[in-house]
Amino acid sequence: MVSSLRHYLVVTAGYWAFTVTDGAIRMLVVLYFHQLGYSPFEVAMLFLFYEFFGVVTNLVGGWLGARIGLNLTMHIGMAMQVVALLLLTVPDAWLSVPYVMAAQALSGIAKDLNKMSAKASVKVLAGDGGESRLFRYVAVLTGSKNALKGAGFFVGAALLDAIGFRATLANLAGMLFVVLLVTLVLLPRGVGKMASKPKFTQVFSKRPAINWLSAARFFLFGARDVWFVVGLPVYLYTVLGWSFTQVGSFFALWVIGYGVVQAGAPGFVRRSHRGAGPGGGTARVLALVLAVVPAAIALGLERGVEPHWVVVGGLVVFAVVFAINSAVHSYLILAYADHDKVAMNVGFYYMANAGGRLAGTVLSGWVYQTQGLVGCLWWSAAFVLLAALLSWRLPDPQAAHAAV
């Protein structure tokens, strides 16, 4: 138990360090390339390969983790992120759209290898403490990760103002390389590795609950990114007149608050019977509540309510409901997963997650350019409603295992 907890903490710390670089590079790319004159849609296109290769990586990464071990796939992801950061330190003349898209593709592969490895490791390292412990472990990992991603947004924007684009990237790469070396020494080999070599076709889940949850996850994260990735930061900078540091600080505070709520999600959705986590009904209710939020923000903007209050206030509510919903999803995938196939089940699920981010990212640039922030918000509400409808097929974890 002590060694499992220690390894869980090492995995979490490595995931934290990676997440700071991931948040920073996202904010750096959005703000720096907007400053260079890229349109919102062109900025969104810079993330196209980042999200597309996230889909591919989650599909292949779960299978790879089951074959070679989750610790090794996590370290491969860290090393690739170091390279991706350094690739963007070249002169501006080299930073063409295809070049940046290629560097972002490498970063997308790195991010999803790291995330899949860290979250699948929780199932292995949680031990036999029951579903409530599993829910607490995954909520703390996911919530703290999002808080650190918020810190990354702030670090990226503040350092962009303070020391410039390239110096920021070089410093982030050096920090992550040190963390890579430390975790290589502290983590055991073979975490999550299957005794038999799984076939690639085993990646595709045969559990209906996992398939329905993955479909709901696609639309849940598409709903967030359709207004959050490009539309919102560009709106804050160009329409509301915020500085880079103000935009980065706001995103940082939002994501940190979102992470804190997510880490505390077990307390918000505590079940009456001991040892059990939330079920499909919780995910359905939360999705229906969440759908109201972007619709309300859009209506407020359409009716001319002060945009600072509408956008900032609406984002606070969105953060709370979305964070609890996401934490429930993150728990359910581990609860539904087979213990010996956790890497592949989680990889399949996060493939859908990455697909939703891909759709949301592309739509964020296009919809903002053609329909403004209000259009992005209506798309977000529609996506959440689809997630709610798909969640109607989600059982409680005990029923999902009994049905197989």
pLDDT digit string, tens, across residues 335-365: 887 665 666 677 778 788 888 988 998 888 8
Residues with Cβ within 8 Å of 210's Cβ and at least 6 positions away in sequence, in order, are 333, 336, 337, 345, 348, 349
Q: Which region among 1-5, 7-11, 178-182, 333-337 has the lowest average model confidence (pLDDT)? A: 1-5
Q: How far apart are CA 68 and CA 387, in angstroms?
A: 34
Average pLDDT of the segment spanning 178-195? 72
Q: Is 201 exposed, middle or buried (0-12, 13-18, 19+ CB in 10 A)?
A: exposed
Asked if residue 328 lies in contact with residue 283, where contact means CB atoms within 8 angstroms, the answer is yes
Mean pLDDT of the chain: 80
pTM for the model stands at: 0.70
Alpha-carbon torsion angle 97, 99, 104, 110, nearest 10: 170
Q: Is pLDDT above 70 for 180?
A: yes
At position 121, the amino acid (one-letter code) is: S
Number of neighbouring beta carbons within 10 Å of residue 186:
14
Closest CA to 25 of 42, 40, 46: 46
pLDDT digit string, tens, across residues 114-167: 877 776 766 665 555 555 566 677 777 767 777 777 788 888 888 888 888 899
pLDDT band at 293 (very low <50, low <70, confident <90, very high): very high
Q: How far apart are CA 186 and CA 12, in angstroms?
A: 12
Q: How far apart are CA 132 and CA 139, in angstroms?
A: 10
Q: How many residues does the chain have?
A: 404
Q: What angle do CA 78, 82, 85 make, to 5 degrees?
A: 130
Q: How far apart are CA 119 and CA 114, in angstroms?
A: 9
Structure tokens at 275: 């040892």
Domains identified in the chain and CATH numbers: 2-186+206-402 (1.20.1250.20)
Asked if residue 187 lies in contact with residue 69, where contact means CB atoms within 8 angstroms, the answer is no
Asked if residue 344 lies in contact with residue 261, where contact means CB atoms within 8 angstroms, the answer is no
Residues with Cβ within 8 Å of 209's Cβ and at least 6 positions away in sequence, in order, are 280, 332, 336, 393, 394, 395, 400, 403
Residues with Cβ within 8 Å of 42's Cβ and at least 6 positions away in sequence, in order, are 33, 97, 365
Measured in degrees and rounded to the nearest 5, phi and psi for residue 69 equal 105, 140
Q: How far apart are CA 153 and CA 244, in angstroms?
A: 10
Q: How far apart are CA 263 and CA 132, in angstroms?
A: 13
